[in-house]
Amino acid sequence: MTKMEEVRPMEEYLQVIPSEFDIMKQEFKRKNLELEKKIKKIEEEKMYLSLDVDLQKKEVEKVRKENKKVEKDRDDLKEKYKKAQVSLKRVGLGRSLEQWQKEVQEEKVRAEYWEKKCQEMRSQNLTLERENKVLKTKVTELGRSLRWHRNHDPTVELEEVKSKVEDLEAALHGSELRIEQFKVQEDCLKEELHQVKGQVRDRDYIIGEAIA
């Protein structure tokens, strides 16, 4: 075998062995593909999250309007309560026992209605608090993911991840605002319930005086 024949297989062998650069290039392509998949997934999640944020904004606005209505109803109820007290003092025991009993029954029905509304409000508050905890967990997990990407590959553009963190934080703020609004509304309902129960007690007292 000639020296030329010995050299040729060696050249062919070297051509088959990938260089370190080729290996790094393949590894870069693989990582880049993985990152593209992750970014695509994040973009999809961001789209759904944006819808959730819009929905929560609408819910917050709805709660604000309901809260204004509750406050107006509360003021009206206070005024009616004052008028009822004055009326009770003027009328005294002039009404029949049946009339007083009928009014007491109507007030008890109202008290039961407001009691039910308070229970519904408490249930909504609990549901919102659970949703709030889930949002906080998502924000924490995404923050960890963002820090991990920065530490392992600082050259990768992470605006999508940062944007999702901001969207989650906005959703979290909206959820906390809704909880606060519902708590205020619940307090208003409790005050109304207290006033209605007071009216029931006053009428019960008058009936007791009439019977005695």
**Number of domains forming the structure of the chain:** 1
Residue 162, domain member (yes or no): yes
Per-residue pLDDT tens digits for 167-193:
666 666 666 666 666 666 667 666 766
Q: Is residue 18 part of a domain?
A: no
Classify residue 193: in a domain, yes or no: yes
CB-side neighbour CA atoms (13 Å) of 131: 19
Q: Flag whether 123 is in a domain.
A: yes
Domain residues for 82? Answer: 50-211
User: Could you tell me which of 168, 143, 146, 172 has the C-alpha nearest to residue 157?
Assistant: 146
Whether 206 is in a domain gets the answer yes
Task: Tell me which DSSP letter residue 17 carries.
Answer: S
Query: Is the residue at 160 inside a domain?
Result: yes
pTM as predicted = 0.34
| 5 falls within a domain | no
The two tokens of residue 148 are 């991990």
Whole-number Å distance between alpha carbons of 185 and 145:
38
What confidence tens digit (pLDDT) does each residue in 22-61 have?
666 677 777 777 777 776 776 676 666 666 666 666 776 7
Residue 43, domain member (yes or no): no
d(C-alpha 162, C-alpha 168), whole Å:
10
So what's the pLDDT on residue 67? 66
